[in-house]
Amino acid sequence: MPIVVLTTAAGAPGATTTALGLALTWSGPTLLVEADPAGSSIASGYFRGSVDHSYGLLNLALGRTQTDLAQAILDESRVLDEEADRRILLGLAEPAQASALTSWWEPIAEGLLQLDAAGYTVLIDAGRLTQGSYPMPLLGVADLVLVMCRGTLSSAVRTQPIAAALHDVLERTGRAEQLGLGVIGQSDYGPQEIAKALRLPLVLRLPEDPQNARVLSDGVNERKFSTSALAKAYRAASMELTSTVARRRQVVGLEDTPPPQPRQPAQADQPVAPAQPVRPAHQPSGPTHQPSGSAHQPSGPVHEQTPPRPGPQRMAEESGGPR
């Protein structure tokens, strides 16, 4: 199944909202990883502060004693939609914790590869490329790396130098073909014009819909969300991205196997570090929004030839970070 990274240059182009919207509409087992070094916005937004950080990304790094990375990630994740097996690995509680993950991005990336091979779609919100402690090894295992941009001139101008730097990083590791553009809305310039100016293939386009986007960004209750143009666009985009990655993987001969199931950690798995948060007896689940419906699928160039993924270690060693 696909591994898709969403990243941004500056401002608020909607990468987190898009990642969450895709996670809630993707068909089959899906894991959303909130890897933004700036911290979790989904915990306070979509979940409206109803969850704590007893489970999540930092807890995975501080307390992992299991050798099964994929299972450890599932154990630290929370339920988005139990019936459809949609889960989220919540991000950091605050930006100051990001430095603790610097040496953990590579093993986390390896665990995500295991989940990918086991049949999970993995969606990664990587945050701004300009931030410190950026999770570059996660890009080394991605099928697609989408730079998100709003359909405005100012957003395109801020995105251009970052997109160029990211292209150079991925090109040095043979991954430039994985880079694409996601555009939300449009104003004076259409998505195709922005893609041409940024020299990136247009892979994802979504409508500007602030009212319905608040269902995801702020956890508001909107009864018409499931039939909104935004929900339909997420569903169509997930289908298109799945098809794109499937065609690419046929070239390199990658195959999927049945997914493992999340479980509660055994007592032996409990971390012993003093800083480890106390785990609740049961994982609380958050609100569930089920976007549905159908619409035309977003258009955009598709690159069929894809080199094998270099893996997180090579990406970390050869990239040198964005310039």
What one-character-per-residue DSSP string does 8-30 give? ESSS--SHHHHHHHHHTT-SSSE
Percent of the residues in the chain that have a pLDDT greater than 90, as a whole number? 46
pLDDT at 307: 52
Q: What is the pLDDT of residues 9-46, one digit of tens each?
A: 876 789 999 999 999 999 999 999 999 998 898 998 99
Looking at per-residue pLDDT, the higher value among 249 and 296 belongs to: 249
Q: What is the pLDDT of residues 257-286, one digit of tens each?
A: 454 555 444 443 444 333 333 333 444 444
pTM above 0.95, yes or no: no
Q: What is the pLDDT of residues 207-241, one digit of tens each?
A: 999 999 999 999 888 778 888 999 999 999 999 99
* pLDDT above 70: residue 316: no
Structural tokens at position 121: 């779609």
Identify the CATH number of the domain in which residue 115 sits.
3.40.50.300
3-state class of 173 per DSSP? coil
How far does Cα 312 stand from its chain's mean position?
16
H helix runs in the chain, sequence order: 15-23, 57-63, 69-76, 105-117, 136-139, 153-172, 191-198, 210-217, 229-252, 312-319
pLDDT at 159: 93
Counted domains in the chain: 1
Task: Using alpha carbons, select from 277, 286, 284, 269 the residue that is nearest to residue 53.
Answer: 277
Q: What is the pLDDT of residues 166-188, one digit of tens each?
A: 999 999 988 899 999 999 998 77
Summary mean pLDDT of the chain: 80
Q: What is the CA radius of gyration of the chain?
A: 18
How many Å is the maximal CA-CA distance in the chain?
59
Task: Using alpha carbons, select from 97, 78, 75, 76 the residue that is nearest to residue 87.
Answer: 78
* pLDDT above 50: residue 297: no
What is the domain extent for residue 252?
3-319
Residue labelled with tokens 């104003």: 187
Q: What is the pLDDT of residues 106-149, one digit of tens each?
A: 999 999 999 999 999 999 999 988 777 899 999 999 999 999 99
